[in-house]
Chains A and B, each alone.
Chain A
Amino acid sequence: MSSIKIELRQEDIEKIREICSSFNKDPQELINILHKCQEHFGYLPAEVQEVVSNELDVPVAKIYGVVTFYSFFTMTPKGRHPISICMGTACYVRGAEKVLDEFKKELNLQVGQTTTDGKFSLSSLRCVGACGLAPVVLVGDKTYGRVAPDDVRNILREYE
């Protein structure tokens, strides 16, 4: 599991309980519950999973199994400006790999990592459905279309 140890505050625990109750603590709603929790915390640390496990009466191993199965869920906190590079086929043939390499180089990060100051995190995702704009980069909610490796530095500069 993740190396980060956090201590949940009482209000965080209450929040998780509230989310679970809103789905009637139904284990079949686990994925919807995890979505809500991730929306709230930004990620799903082991401690959050433990509370969900107690609430739903589902072994924490099962929950961990689900969290790690789906790529949308993450156990490491994202940066304040999460960067996602679309690696769908359309973006790939239009050169997304070179754009990703440039981000890796500029930020000195690997995919799935967050900068030490917590500012940027880097991830690749599969097709955002905006293939007309390929290659596509998302920073937070903002979309950049037709990105060339040369644009990378300018994009990062916007967040200084």
Chain B
Amino acid sequence: MSQYRMQIMVCGGAGCSDLNSEAIFDNLQLEIEAFALENEIQVVRTGCFGLCGLGPVVRVMPDEVIYTHVSPDDATEIVSEHVLKGRKVERLLHKDPVSQKILATEPELSACKKQLRIVLRNCGIIDPENIEEAIAANAYEALAKALTELTPDEAIKIIKDSGLRGRGGGGFPTGLKWEIARKNQAEEKYVVCNADEGDPGAFMDRSVLEGDPHAVLEAMAICGYCIGAANGLIYIRAEYPLAVARLKTAISQARQYGLLGSNIMGTGFNFDIGIKYGAGAFVCGEETALIHSMEGLRGEPTVKPPFPAESGFRGKPTNVNNVETFACISPVILKGADWFRSIGTEKSKGTKVFALAGKINNVGLVEVPMGTTLREVVFEIGGGIRDGKKFKAAQTGGPSGGCLTEKHLDTPIDFDNLIAAGSMMGSGGLIVMDEDDCMVSVAKFFLEFTVEESCGKCSPCRIGNKRLHELLEHITKGKGAPADLDRLRNMSRVIKDTSLCGLGQSSPNPVLSTLDNFYEEYESHVTAKKCPAGQCRDLMEYFIIEANCVGCTACARVCPVNAITGERKEPHIINPEICIKCGACKEKCKFDAIIIH
């Protein structure tokens, strides 16, 4: 590889690509060529930086300067000012929304503080379509170490000792899983990577696959060596075309370099990887459902045991791990179990990637040591709540999880603490909600998702969730009764206890956790028929404050049902009988005279 004095990295992650970061890359390249600097300055298209809320993002190294909200036209200025004259382009630097201070470099950005990147070690640093850059960043070194210095049992022991637990949601010890798969004797075994990231609001797997695909391929090969499998399969969502394309490139490059295929590194070990597509079914995140889907069937789960480690894909022992789990493997093998154990809490070792989204200032991907508190994640890394609003809750674990509230802000986040708090780790989506969010509606939203995604095989999940959703619908429409709250709780327990797979067993969690933490909010919906957050349309009433109304008639003119009456220059009145609560009048009013009750 050539030596460059400067590198301009353009984020090619999901959010930035959608905002046309490709054109920024092309323009930068053209500018660099125009000044004949292509031997000195390298323009790189990388994976996700994790600063998705500021995208498209461009980073200039070694200065560590981060440019935000860059447009393709800015390429000229970046090259003529920063590259040629060494002056930062001020207007593209990030300004802290609270202090208005300019935060020019990576270490200054609050989103980058407190982070420890193990899984995302190469994301945003290497060009994911160039295997040489991956190798320069230590890719396949762990595979070489495993193949030449370790027996499969020794490698499994390192993983076991490291305390690594599955990052897909359940938190099952990874080393133990590999050991079970190893002990099952069979001619044919399979290593499967679950890249069917179905949890809405989580996009870390996508970012790893798009930003550092070799991390996953290498770990799958190590797993194959450990359990005695020669075939790997990646089950990936068809909705992630960029990740699929990068994986395909990475697989073919690894084959060319003799890092996949037969006789890897001359050790006689054979391992190859193929791709299977998902087709949009959340339940396929469950391992037995995933395996059925890979076999060309409906993705319905089956009763465990037999576990996939005994009888999985094509009836053969199969080890299924999630993308993020695989991405932890190589560092653990290289740096050892003790190093990994030194990070995190007693029972949850290492780091966890969170996808921060919702009403938070710094939306994006962050990786923090297990045991970091919710307060640190939301307020220090996440930069606090948007528009200075008040923090209300953070939903973790997606539709299977629950919400954490103010009282959980100082709880260290790990697998067990989250379960104790009535939520779960899930895949790591962390959606922040503020005072304007109605928790009953949030629970209803998740149930709507579960109802749609339930495969329909077992009745508690198919019928129970539907009934739960109906009850919530009633409550948000103002037709609920106090007894409904007990009904919600009882039904939730039955669904949890009797469903066949993880989907049904966890689907009532959002209801139970919001009931536990926001009981008054439910009560107010069923007794006073009011929505404290002002979200439930059917429970709202629009009022005109007489003192503020100047009688401009703007509201009356915009009202689609003529519910507003009043003389010109006189205070107006809304007739609640006619009002359809569309909110058009409130939007139109320039005098803040219309309020919602």
Residues in chain A within 8 A of chain B (CB atoms): 26-32, 34-35, 65-66, 69-73, 87-90, 92-94, 125-134, 136, 143, 145
Whole-angstrom distance between the alpha carbons of A153 and B280 in the complex? Answer: 29
Most chain B beta carbons < 10 A, residue from A65, A71, A92, A93:
A93
Contacts of A73 in B (CB 8 A): 279-280
What sequence of 0s and 1s flags, for each residue 354-372 of chain B, a beta carbon within 8 Å of any chain A beta carbon? Answer: 0101110001100000000
A133: chain B residues at CB < 8 Å are 15, 18-19, 52, 55
Fill in one digit per residue for B306-331: 1 if any A CB lies within 8 Å of its CB, else 0: 00000000100000000000000000
Separation of A129 and B209 alpha carbons in the complex (Å)? 12
Residue B543, interface by CB 8 Å:
no
Is B431 in contact with A93, judged by CB distance below 8 angstroms? yes
Of B18, B199, B202, the most chain A CB neighbours within 10 A belong to B18
Q: Nearest chain-B residue to A35 (Cβ)?
A: B277
Interface string of B394-407 (1 = CB under 8 A from A): 01001000000000
- Contacting residues, chain B, for A72 (C-beta < 8 A): 238-239, 278-280
- A69's partner among B294, B298, B364, B429 (CB-CB below 8 A) is B298
Q: Find out whether the CB atom of B200 lies under 8 angstroms from the CB atom of A87.
A: yes
Does B240 belong to the interface (CB within 8 Å)? Answer: yes
Distance from A106 Cβ to chain B, minimum over Cβ atoms (Å): 15
A94–B434 Cα gap in the complex (Å)?
11
Asked if A132 contacts B364 (CB within 8 A), the reply is yes
C-beta contact mask, B280-300 vs A, less than 8 Å → 1, else 0?
A: 111000000000011111110
Chain A to chain B contacts (Cβ below 8 Å), 10 pairs:
A29-B296, A30-B296, A69-B299, A93-B433, A128-B14, A128-B239, A130-B14, A130-B203, A132-B357, A134-B358
Q: Judging by beta carbons under 8 Å apart, are A31 and B276 in contact?
A: yes
A30, A94, A130: the one contacting B18 at CB < 8 Å is A130
Instruction: Indicate if the CB atoms of A126 and B200 lie closer than 8 Å.
Output: yes
CB-defined contacts of B296 to chain A, threshold 8 Å: 26-31, 66
**A90: which B residues are within 8 A, CB to CB?**
200-201, 357-358, 363, 429, 431
| Residues in chain B near residue A27, CB distance under 8 A | 296
Is B279 a contact of A35 with CB atoms below 8 Å?
yes
Q: Check if B282 sits within 8 Å of A126, measured CB to CB.
A: yes
User: When A and B form their complex, which 5 residue pairs have the shortest distance between CB atoms, in order from nearest?
Assistant: A132-B52, A30-B296, A90-B357, A70-B279, A88-B200
Contacts of B395 in A (CB 8 A): 89
Chain B, 179-219, contact with A by CB distance < 8 Å: what is the 0/1 string? 00000000000000000011111110011000000000000
B200's contact among A26, A65, A127, by CB below 8 Å, is which? A127
Residues of A within 8 A of B240 (CB): 129
Q: A29-B296, A35-B279, A69-B299 are in contact. Are A126 and B198 (CB under 8 A)?
A: yes
The reply to whether A131 and B279 form a contact with Cβ atoms under 8 Å apart is no
Q: Give bound CA distance, A34 to B398, whole Å.
A: 29
Q: What is the CA–CA distance of A30 and B292 in the complex, to the nearest angstrom?
A: 11
Residue of B at shortest CB range from A92?
B445
CB–CB A134/B357 < 8 A: yes
- Contacts A35-B277, A131-B201 given; 17 further ones with Cβ under 8 A? A27-B296, A28-B296, A29-B296, A31-B278, A73-B280, A89-B200, A89-B357, A93-B431, A93-B442, A125-B280, A126-B200, A127-B201, A129-B206, A132-B53, A133-B52, A134-B358, A145-B19
Residues of B within 8 A of A34 (CB): 279
Question: In the complex, are the beta carbons of A66 and B52 less than 8 A apart?
Answer: no
| Interchain nearest-CB distance for A84 vs B (Å) | 10
Query: Do A31 and B293 touch (CB < 8 A)?
Result: yes
Chain B 476-519, CB-CB to A under 8 Å as 1, else 0, gives: 00000000000000000000000000000000000000000000
Write the nearest CB–CB distance from A77 to chain B, whole angstroms: 18
CA distance A92 to B88 in the complex (A): 37
Report the Cα distance A72→B358, complex, angstroms. 26
- Chain B residues within an 8 Å CB radius of A29: 296
* Residues of chain B from 254 to 282 with CB closer than 8 A to chain A in the complex: 276-282
- In-complex Cβ contact of B15 among A35, A71, A130 (8 A): A130
Complex partner residue of A71 from B206, B280, B442, B446, CB under 8 angstroms: B280
B568 to chain A, nearest CB (A): 27
Give Cα A66–Cα B144 distance, bound, in whole angstroms: 41
Residue of A nearest to B54 (CB): A132
Tell me the B62-96 residues at the A interface (CB within 8 Å).
Answer: none
Q: Which residues of A contact B14 (CB under 8 A)?
A: 128-130
C-alpha spacing A66/B298, complex, angstroms? 5
Q: What CA separation (Å) do A89 and B197 show in the bound complex?
A: 14
Q: How far is the CA of A48 from the CA of B19 in the complex (A)?
A: 36
B106 contacts chain A at the CB level, 8 A cutoff = no
